[in-house]
Amino acid sequence: MADFAVYVAIRVVVCVVQALSWPLALQSATRLAWLAYRVNRRHRLVAADNVRHAFPDLDAQAVDRLVQASYLHLATMVVETIRLPRVLHGANFENYVHHANPTDREQLLLWGNCGRPLLALTGHFGNWELLSYLTGLFGLRGGIVARRLDNPFLDRFLSRFRSKTGQTLLDKSADYSRILDMLAHGGSLGMVGDQDAGPRGLFVSFFGRPASTFKSIALLSLEYGAPIIVVGVARIGHPMQYRHYLEDVILPEEYAGHVDATRAITQRYTAALERMVRRHPEQYFWLHRRWKHKPPVRKAKRAA
C-alpha cells in the first residue's frame, strides 16, 4: 500500500508537470532545486566534498555555487524527462539535440549496424534518460542495463518510458544470461559506467583520485570483441536544447596482448567520462559517493 501511495503521488506530479507551460515547468524545477538543496543536507555535504576534491582550485563560495547548480540541473532533468514523450519524436528530435561533431550521428549509425556486438557507455551526466530515449529515435535498438526499482509500481511505470522507443530493459543481476546472449548474437547494450563498484572494484583514476569501477564492462568488451562507444548529452539551452557527444570509440582489438587490458580499457572510458564532465561540471551527479571505497592496503604496508 505504501508503494502504491508513492506511485499515485508521483503520477499526480507527472500529470501536473505535463500540463504546465514550459516557463512554469522550468520555474517549478527552480523551486524544487532550492528546496532540495536546503532540506537534503546529507547529499549536499557529499556533493560539496566531491566537488572540492575534483576541483581543488575552487574556493568555498565557488564550490557551493557548483553544488547549487547541480541541484538545479537534476530538478530540471526531472521536469524535462517527464515532458520528454510529449515533446520529442522521430520527426523533430534534430530541433532539440545537436551533435558536437557533424559526423557523430553517421558514426553512431555505423557502429550500431556494424554487425558486431556493441557497448554504449555513459555516466550520470547530462540527461542520461534522454540519451537512451534518443538512441531509439536514431534508429538504434538494443538492451538497456539498469537496476530495477524497489517499488514495483514505479518500476513498471519507468520501464514503459524507457522502452517506448524500442529498447529492451535488462536487469544487471537477474538478466545476466540474457545480456551475454545478446552480445553473443551481435546485439547492442547501453549501460552506465560511473557507479562505485565496492571494495572489490577495479580502482582507476577519476578526477585524480582512485575510484572503484566495475571491471565487467571491459571484460565483456574483450570476451565478445565489442567496441565501446562513450556517449553523453549535455544541456546547452532551454527548453530541452542538448548537445550530443560521441566522446570516444574503444576497440578491444587494440588491446590484444596488453599486459593489463581490462585496467587500460576501464581507465580509458573513465577518462572519456571525465572529459565530458569537465565541460559541463554542473551537470554531473555529484550527490553520489563515487569515491566511497578506497583501494585496499597492500599486505606489505600492513605488515610494516
- Strand 241-250, strand 97-99: pairing: parallel
Q: Which three cell numbers stand for residue 51?
A: 566537488
Residue in the structure block whose three cell numbers are 565530458 = 276
Measured distance CA(151)–CA(6) in Å, rounded: 9
Is 301 a residue whose pLDDT tops 60?
A: no
Task: Tell me the per-residue pLDDT of 259-282, one tens digit each, with 9 for 90 and over.
Answer: 999 999 999 999 999 999 999 999
What pLDDT is stored for residue 89 in this prediction?
A: 87
Architecture of domain 2-295: 3-Layer(aba) Sandwich (3.40)
Report the DSSP beta bridge partners of residue 203. 212
Measured distance CA(7)–CA(15) in Å, rounded: 12
Q: Which three cell numbers stand for residue 173?
A: 543481476
Task: Tell me the per-residue pLDDT of 65-81, one tens digit each, with 9 for 90 and over.
Answer: 999 999 999 999 999 99
Is 175 a residue whose pLDDT tops 60?
A: yes
Residue 296 confidence class, pLDDT cut points 50, 70, 90: confident
Task: Tell me the per-residue pLDDT of 20-70, one tens digit each, with 9 for 90 and over.
Answer: 999 999 999 999 999 999 999 999 999 999 999 999 999 999 999 999 999
DSSP 178-214: HHHHHHHTT-EEEEE--S---TTSEEEEETTEEEEE-
Is 165 a residue whose pLDDT tops 70?
A: yes
What pLDDT is stored for residue 302 in this prediction?
A: 56
Q: CB count, 10 Å around CB of 100? A: 16
Is 149 a residue whose pLDDT tops 90?
A: no
Please list the alpha-helical segments (H only) found in the chain: 2-19, 22-39, 41-54, 60-87, 104-112, 128-137, 152-162, 176-184, 216-224, 261-279, 299-303
What pLDDT is stored for residue 98 in this prediction?
A: 92
Is 252 a residue whose pLDDT tops 70?
A: yes
Residue 303 confidence class, pLDDT cut points 50, 70, 90: low
Higher pLDDT, 153 or 162: 153
What pLDDT is stored for residue 254 in this prediction?
A: 96
CA-based nearest residue to 236, from 138, 127, 136, 89: 127
Is 247 a residue whose pLDDT tops 90?
A: yes
C-alpha torsion angle, residues 22, 26, 29, 34 (rounded to 10):
-160
CA-based nearest residue to 131, from 235, 44, 222: 235
38-75 per-residue burial string, b: 16 or more CB within 10 A, e: under 16: eeeeebbebbbebbbebeeeeeeeebbebbbbbbbbbb
Judged by average pLDDT, the poorest of 134-143, 195-204, 254-263 is 134-143
Measured distance CA(44)–CA(6) in Å, rounded: 24
